[in-house]
Amino acid sequence: MRKAGIFPSVFLGLSLLFISGCSNESENEIKEVNLYSARIESLIKPLLDEFTEETGIKVNLVTGNADELLQRLQNEGRNTPADMLLTTDAGRLHRAMEEDLLQPVESETLQQRIPSSYRHPEGYWFGLSLRARPIMYVKDRVDPAELSTYEALVEPRWNNRICVRSSSNIYNQSMVASMIVANGEAATEEWAKGLVANFARSPQGGDRDQISAAAAGQCDIVIANTYYLAGMLTSNDADEKAAAEKLAVFWPNQDDRGVHINVSGAGIIKDAKHRDNAIELLEFLTSDTAQQWYAETNGEYPVRDDIETGEVLEQWGDFRADSLEMDKLGEFNADALRLMDRAGWQ
Amino acid sequence: MSFINQLRPYPAFIFVLAVVLSMPVAVVLAHVFVPSGDIWQHLSSTVLPDYIRNSLLLMLGVAVGTLLIGVTAAWLTTMCQFPGRSVFEWALLLPMAMPAYIIAYTYTGMLDFAGPLQTSLREWFGWQYGDYWFPQIRSLNGAVAMLTLVLYPYVYLLSRAAFLNQSICVLDVSRTLGNGPWKTFWKVALPLARPAIIAGLSLALMETLADYGTVQFFGVSTFTTGIFRTWFGMGSAAAAAQLAAGLMVFVFALILIERYSRRKARYHHTSRRHQDLRRFQLTGSRAFLAFLFCLFILGLGFLLPALQLLSWTIHVADTVIDADFLRLLVNSLSLAAFAAVLALILALVMAYAQRLYPGKLVSGAVRVAGMGYAVPGAVIAVGVMIPFAWIDNTIDDLARSQFNYSTGLLLSGTLVAVTFAYLTRFLAVSLQTVDSGLTRITHSMDEAGRSFGFRPLQILRQIHIPMLSASLMTALLLVFVDVLKELPATLILRPFNFNTLAVKAYELASDERLAEAAPAALAIVIAGIIPVILLSKTITRSRKLKLAIDEN
């Protein structure tokens, strides 16, 4: 029995140690803001450090998968320590708003800087960067004149030539959701079946893997986000760079709705305890420095149109982006996934 | 009588403990009763058959692979003498330090169509895509291979311990009856070691079921990947929980098989005369084959991927390894050590309850407490998050209404929640190990102790602790290594500004930056190697210790 008695007290003691260790800092009057981020640490920390240096506001960071962070916010309820949620797609921001986790923000700076299509009309969330998902082709095997739209990728000439990743991935789910909005569910399902029939291999790996596979000759056409290609082009690894150089970007659907894009963005948590600091951080993330950093370091397109994007992005030229409301991507996500299940898109 | 026994404080405590520890799994399973609309219809007409088929094939493949490799390697290194044996003895455990998702990333980097090996082949022979056949690494077979390579050590470890513990007399008798090494193996050693082998196998298979990183990366749809697709992609927690419940059916089947195999095998050695094993001396081509087999396994499971990680690490070292990296290391190690000690204490408390109060209630409670092992870490994490947040918010509401004071979140988002998730997930590991150690101490040994007039604590000190020490050490180290590698629960539950090596490696690898992920991955492997080596030494030493005791 003695043994049994020791355990709870040891556990409790150590627990208290942990808790006090964690809350120590917040008791001093440090200016801070607590951030839940679906963007991985190495792709956000440098900016946050710069923000801290500039403003003296310390940023506490938890990274994780967006869905799991949402789950966490939901459970923590009004006691959540989080002030701000940062995601890499608009669908999740929409879901956070639907679940009553965010609060509207009025900021002239934000409204002025961010085009209205990339932020929520009432200020529940704000886009910070654009992620375009165009078609990429292998330069010496595909004539870009053959390419036109996503829809045209089901043509028999692309049989056994297309590489794209799994339907478990949010980028594909969003893309298909955007097509459901544009063409309706039945037509999109037909399209998905046709696309699957043209796959060069069963979906595997991430976007970079599709690019590498195309460069190595396994397929000729890839659907992938541009910043992966940009990342490979600026890589230290010579092989990776050489592979990426074999591909070029084609902007599809330029004569109709435009290329599929998603936004990374952020919203302020409903019960934020450091609301003002969080707004300051949001504003910082749309500043010239931060926006340029997105373009040059991450290879994403700035959400503002008055920012220099650097030579990697400039070589691909301008594009017309799909102007559908970003909310729709979240709304049709489940439908998109089911549709892909039915089409046999693994 | 036995039911009244169960009402005493100790077993009652075990019961409460089991309830608390099984809470995360129960919380998730409770969603089973929430209606999930037409999702099931959709799932069963589209992807569910794939989930079932792939999960079964994966388990089957890993079972065959780990048994063949694990048992063969254990037999060779314990019972045979061949060049390099004493090194392989411990080195064959090294793959255990390699997280499955990391070995998967590494091999993909090497063997993929666009990887260096295939690219060189194409360059040398002037091949194009489709001109040649090459095993597809990202496939069900690839996943079986990856999981087998890192999970066979469970079978190896436990069957080796069993072979070492077999009384030499039994094997001697077999030999005097004219049985050669093969016959001795099949007729005597293998049946005797069966409970241990099956225990090791069931650990390996539970890990297989819980694996998410590897199958997800390879694009193999299993129950685990299905749970997350349904949960997050379709936004249906209920259907996801129902899938998780489906997963639990597999787990129960495993537990039952393991129990059943033990029940049928009540072998106790009647003689406790141990002496140094006389190993079968292998010569010539047989020695060479044994050497080659061990080297091959070690090479694939450890040397090759570790070298690849090392070369990537050297490539990026100057940009990635800094003061932050050191902090990651400290975080990972201290968390793993803390969780391992706690898990060991709990396992001991439970295993002894089972021994002292045999009965359905206690043994059932202990089984239930260990269930979390086969549940994917992310599912456990959500199961921890929900009740913890509920407790925190209830306390806060109470404090607000009574004292007009907000307590905020006390447990959620702290390391307490993280540690609790580890315990739920990994208790089965220490429980299995301690339990199998404890069953080797027969009740007649206790009785002998009592007839000497030993008090219970004396029996514990004089008989149990020396005989258990290897099992305790094993339990401790297994959990340590498991926690070190653990990813999903840490990721979801951790507090602000707290990262571990696994989190770091995962974040970079998931962003498809394999080279930059390498230093953290390599650090996990290296930090895992030390306990693994210790582990091997302990088992050998415990046998020597036993020999010493027997001689006195």
Residue with tokens 């206690």: B362
> What number of CA atoms fall less than 13 Å from residue A174's CA on the CB side?
30
Residues of B in contact with A63 (CB under 8 A): 491, 503, 507
CB A51 within 8 A of CB A284: yes
**Least confident among A59-68, B287-296, B329-338, B464-473:** B464-473
**Least confident among A6-15, B139-148, B392-401:** A6-15
- What's the whole-number average pLDDT of chain A? 88
Give whole-number Cα distances, B358 to B88, B135, B350, B429, B439, in Å.
Answer: 40, 51, 11, 21, 12
Coil/strand/helix, residue A13: helix
Coil/strand/helix, residue B236: coil
Q: Of the candidates B216, B392, B491, which has its C-beta nearest A79's C-beta?
A: B392
Distance of residue A2 Cα from the nearest chain B Cα, in angstroms:
10
CB B495 within 8 A of CB A22: yes
Three-state secondary structure along B99-144?
CHHHHHHHHHHHHCCCCHHHHHHHHHHCCCCCCCCCCCCCCHHHHH
Q: Quote the tokens at residue A96.
A: 């956070």
- A37: enclosing H helix or E strand: strand A32-37
User: Is A17 among the domain residues?
Assistant: no
Segment B429-437 mean pLDDT: 84
Strand pairing report for A84-87 and A247-250:
unpaired
| A200 plus A333 within the same structural domain | yes
Can you tell me the distance from the alpha carbon of A243 to that of A224, in angstroms, rounded to the nearest whole number?
A: 15
Residue B49 or residue A16, greater confidence: B49
Q: Quote the tokens at residue B167.
A: 């009384």
User: Is A14 among the domain residues?
Assistant: no
Residues of A in contact with B337 (CB under 8 A): none
Give the rounded percent of residues in chain B with a pLDDT score beyond 90: 25
| A194 plus A256 within the same structural domain | yes
Tens digit of each residue's pLDDT (9 = 90 or more) over B96-120:
888 888 899 889 888 877 778 888 8
Give whole-number Cα distances, B280 to B73, B171, B177, B186, B284, in Å.
Answer: 14, 11, 16, 15, 13
Distance of residue A112 Cα from the nearest chain B Cα, in angstroms:
32
Which residues neighbour B445 within 8 Å (Cβ) at sequence distance 6 or greater? B463
Segment B181-209 mean pLDDT: 83
- What's the whole-number average pLDDT of chain B? 83
Q: What is the pLDDT of residue B254?
A: 78
Above 90 in pLDDT, residue A181? Answer: yes
- The CATH number of the domain where A156 resides is what? 3.40.190.10
When scoring A76, A160, A161, A333 by the number of chain B Cβ atoms within 10 A, the one with the most, hence best to mutate, is A76
When scoring B21, B113, B418, B516 by the number of chain A Cβ atoms within 10 A, the one with the most, hence best to mutate, is B113
- Please tell me whether the interface predicted TM-score (ipTM) of this complex is above 0.85: no
Q: Do B378 and A206 touch (CB under 8 A)?
A: no
| A254 plus A195 within the same structural domain | yes
Segment A67-92 mean pLDDT: 91
A337 touches chain B (CB under 8 A): yes
Burial class (CB in 10 A: 0-12, 13-18, 19+), A11: middle
A203 touches chain B (CB under 8 A): yes
pLDDT band at A180; cut points 50, 70, 90 = very high
Which residues neighbour B56 within 8 Å (Cβ) at sequence distance 6 or greater? none
Give whole-number Cα distances, B519 to B96, B306, B395, in Å.
Answer: 18, 11, 42
A76 touches chain B (CB under 8 A): yes
Q: Do A14 and B338 touch (CB under 8 A)?
A: yes
Above 80 in pLDDT, residue B210? Answer: yes
User: Angle at which helices B190-210 and B415-439 pack, to 10 degrees?
Assistant: 170
Domain count of chain A?
Answer: 2
Q: Quote the tokens at residue A287.
A: 């500043």
Q: In what order do the strands lie in the sheet with A221-223?
A: A162-163, A221-223, A135-138, A247-250
**Least confident among A69-78, A202-211, A268-277, B109-118:** B109-118
Can you tell me the distance from the alpha carbon of A316 to that of A314, in angstroms, rounded to the nearest whole number?
A: 5
Residues of A in contact with B496 (CB under 8 A): 22, 34, 60-62, 81
B358 touches chain A (CB under 8 A): no
- A59: enclosing H helix or E strand: strand A58-63
* B376 phi, psi to nearest 5 deg: -55, 140
User: Is A281 among the domain residues?
Assistant: yes
User: Is A294 among the domain residues?
Assistant: yes
Count other C-beta atoms under 10 Å from residue B106's C-beta: 24
Above 60 in pLDDT, residue B306? Answer: yes
User: Is A102 among the domain residues?
Assistant: yes
B2 touches chain A (CB under 8 A): no
A239 touches chain B (CB under 8 A): yes
Angle B130-A229-A322 from CA coordinates, rounded to 5°: 110
Largest Cα separation within chain A, whole Å, is 80
Q: Of the candidates A62, A77, A168, which has its C-beta nearest B225's C-beta?
A: A168
Residues of B in contact with A11 (CB under 8 A): 342
Tens digit of each residue's pLDDT (9 = 90 or more) over B515-542:
888 999 999 998 888 887 887 777 666 6
pLDDT band at B131; cut points 50, 70, 90 = confident
Give the rounded percent of residues in chain A with a pLDDT score beyond 90: 66
Q: What is the pLDDT of residue A21?
A: 45
| A190 plus A269 within the same structural domain | no
- B68: enclosing H helix or E strand: helix B48-79
Above 70 in pLDDT, residue B43? Answer: yes
Give whole-number Cα distances, A32 to A55, A83, B227, B430, B537, in Å.
Answer: 10, 10, 36, 41, 49
Segment B8-24 mean pLDDT: 88
B218 touches chain A (CB under 8 A): yes
Above 50 in pLDDT, residue B147? Answer: yes
CB–CB contacts below 8 A, A to B:
177
Q: Do A68 and B218 touch (CB under 8 A)?
A: no
Tens digit of each residue's pLDDT (9 = 90 or more) over A22-62:
444 444 467 999 999 999 888 899 999 999 999 999 999 99
Which residues neighbour B120 within 8 Å (Cβ) at sequence distance 6 or greater? none
| A168 plus A210 within the same structural domain | yes
Q: Quote the tokens at residue A285.
A: 């993330």
A334 touches chain B (CB under 8 A): yes
Residues of B in contact with A78 (CB under 8 A): 393
Write out residues 375-404 of B within 8 Å (CB-CB) of A. Answer: 378, 381-382, 385-386, 388-390, 392-393, 396
| A299 plus A256 within the same structural domain | no
Tens digit of each residue's pLDDT (9 = 90 or more) over B233-278:
777 777 877 887 788 777 778 777 777 776 655 555 544 555 556 6
Q: What is the DSSP string of B73-104?
A: HHHHHHHEE-TTHHHHHHHTTGGGGS-HHHHH
Residues of A in contact with B411 (CB under 8 A): 15, 19
Q: Quote the tokens at residue B103.
A: 């070995």
Single-letter amino acid, residue A69: L
**Least confident among A60-69, A310-319, B176-185:** B176-185
Above 70 in pLDDT, residue A68? Answer: yes
Can you tell me the distance from the alpha carbon of B201 to that of B60, in angstroms, rounded to the nearest whole number?
A: 11
Closest CA to A302 of A258, A268, A261: A261
Q: Quote the tokens at residue B390.
A: 């509920």
Residue A86 or residue A67, greater confidence: A86
Above 90 in pLDDT, residue B28? Answer: no
pLDDT band at B27; cut points 50, 70, 90 = confident
Above 70 in pLDDT, residue A287? Answer: yes
| A107 plus A199 within the same structural domain | no
Write out residues 472-531 of B within 8 Å (CB-CB) of A. Answer: 491-492, 494-499, 503-504, 507-508, 510-513, 515-516
| A147 plus A207 within the same structural domain | yes
Closest CA to B289 of B73, B24, B133: B73
Q: What is the pLDDT of residue A1?
A: 36
Closest CA to A96 of A286, A307, A271: A271
Which residues neighbour A346 within 8 Å (Cβ) at sequence distance 6 or greater? A166, A167, A202, A203, B219, B221
Distance of residue B280 Cα from the nearest chain A Cα, in angstroms:
45
Can you tell me the distance from the alpha carbon of B19 to that of B365, in angstroms, rounded to the nearest whole number?
A: 8
User: Is A13 among the domain residues?
Assistant: no
User: Is A125 among the domain residues?
Assistant: yes
Distance of residue B360 Cα from the nearest chain A Cα, in angstroms:
20
Q: What is the pLDDT of residue A188?
A: 96
Q: Of the candidates B10, B122, B393, which has its C-beta nearest A79's C-beta?
A: B393
Chain B residue at shortest CA distance from A26: B496
Residues of A in contact with B499 (CB under 8 A): 41
Q: Do B393 and A15 touch (CB under 8 A)?
A: no
User: Is A15 among the domain residues?
Assistant: no
Closest CA to B68 of B253, B168, B170, B204: B204
Can you tell me the distance from the alpha carbon of B467 to that of B347, in angstroms, rounded to the nearest whole number?
A: 16
Above 90 in pLDDT, residue B407? Answer: no
pLDDT band at A219; cut points 50, 70, 90 = very high
pLDDT band at A285; cut points 50, 70, 90 = very high
Q: What is the pLDDT of residue A2?
A: 39
B415 touches chain A (CB under 8 A): yes
pLDDT band at B457; cut points 50, 70, 90 = confident
Count other C-beta atoms under 10 Å from residue B326's C-beta: 11
Write out residues 238-297 of B within 8 Å (CB-CB) of A. Answer: none
Segment B349-375 mean pLDDT: 84
Can you tell me the distance from the alpha carbon of A47 to that of A293, in angstroms, rounded to the nearest whole number?
A: 8
The top-scoring range by mean pLDDT among A238-252, B277-291, B357-371 is A238-252
A18 touches chain B (CB under 8 A): yes
Tell me the whole-structure pTM to 2 decimals: 0.82
Residues of A in contact with B43 (CB under 8 A): 341
When scoring B105, B496, B499 by the number of chain A Cβ atoms within 10 A, the one with the most, hence best to mutate, is B496
pLDDT band at A7; cut points 50, 70, 90 = very low
B9 touches chain A (CB under 8 A): yes
| A99 plus A176 within the same structural domain | no
Handedness of CA A98, A102, A108, A110 (dihedral sign): negative
A258 touches chain B (CB under 8 A): no
Segment B379-402 mean pLDDT: 88
Give the rounded percent of residues in chain B with a pLDDT score beyond 70: 92
| A178 plus A245 within the same structural domain | yes
Chain B residue at shortest CA distance from A78: B393
Burial class (CB in 10 A: 0-12, 13-18, 19+), A117: middle
Write out residues 118-177 of B within 8 Å (CB-CB) of A. Answer: 118-119, 122, 128-129, 138
Count other C-beta atoms under 10 Å from residue A24's C-beta: 9
Coil/strand/helix, residue A279: helix
B219 touches chain A (CB under 8 A): yes
CB A83 within 8 A of CB A278: yes
Distance of residue B156 Cα from the nearest chain A Cα, in angstroms:
32
Strand pairing report for A32-37 and A58-63:
parallel
Q: Do A209 and B112 touch (CB under 8 A)?
A: yes
Q: Do A205 and B217 touch (CB under 8 A)?
A: yes
**Least confident among A80-89, A332-341, B316-325, B486-495:** B316-325
Can you tell me the distance from the alpha carbon of B548 to that of B552, in angstroms, rounded to the nearest whole number?
A: 6
Q: What is the DSSP letter of B387?
A: H
Q: What is the pLDDT of residue B6?
A: 52
A232 lies in which domain range? 132-260+320-343
> What number of CA atoms fall less than 13 Å from residue B220's CA on the CB side?
30
B37 touches chain A (CB under 8 A): no
Q: Do B389 and A15 touch (CB under 8 A)?
A: no
**Any alpha helices (H) in chain A, and if so which ranges?**
2-27, 45-55, 66-76, 90-98, 108-113, 170-183, 185-198, 207-216, 226-233, 238-245, 275-285, 288-293, 311-314, 327-331, 333-343
| A147 plus A256 within the same structural domain | yes
Q: Quote the tokens at residue A130.
A: 């654009």
Q: What is the pLDDT of residue A86?
A: 96
Q: Do A346 and B221 touch (CB under 8 A)?
A: yes
Q: What is the pLDDT of residue A29?
A: 65
Which residues neighbour B391 within 8 Å (Cβ) at sequence distance 6 or greater? B410, B411
Coil/strand/helix, residue A107: coil
Segment B361-376 mean pLDDT: 82
A101 touches chain B (CB under 8 A): no
Above 90 in pLDDT, residue B31? Answer: no
| A46 plus A103 within the same structural domain | yes
